[in-house]
Amino acid sequence: MKRYVYVAASLVILVGAGAVLAVAGDDPPEAPPWLAADGRIDPAKAPDEFEVSGPDGKKVVCANGRTLKVRKEQLLGPPPRTPDQLRADGAAGGGGDLVWRCGPGRNPHLNAILIPRTQDPLGEDQR
């Protein structure tokens, strides 16, 4: 009986040590080439489009089956309206979060729009 206890304890120690070494050996992910060491973004090196992920971490897919993409000008350039203006548009429903959604037209995945969460056509039950 003691033998089984020693074998089991040895296995637990070895597995635990292996898990610690496996986690400790992970290298941090590399920064993308368009991100400087100080955190600034170089728009010239940034990709033309960025894919959008939802709150669950999955990519947002439009009605045409394509992944929603936001042009870098929309993310890195000056917005057509300030976030405060967008929040004010949706203030009647409360909340100030903004979400990216598929836009209108034949290519909704390329016509991303930023809307207040209170005006989100998907609502809480469809996300």
d(CA 10, CA 90): 61
Please indicate whether residue 7 or residue 38 has the higher confidence score (pLDDT): 38
Which residues are 41's β-sheet partners? 35
Residue 18 CB partners (closer than 8 Å, separation 6+): none
Please indicate whether residue 119 or residue 16 has the higher confidence score (pLDDT): 119
Q: pLDDT tens digit string along 74-109?
A: 888 776 677 777 677 655 544 567 888 888 888 888
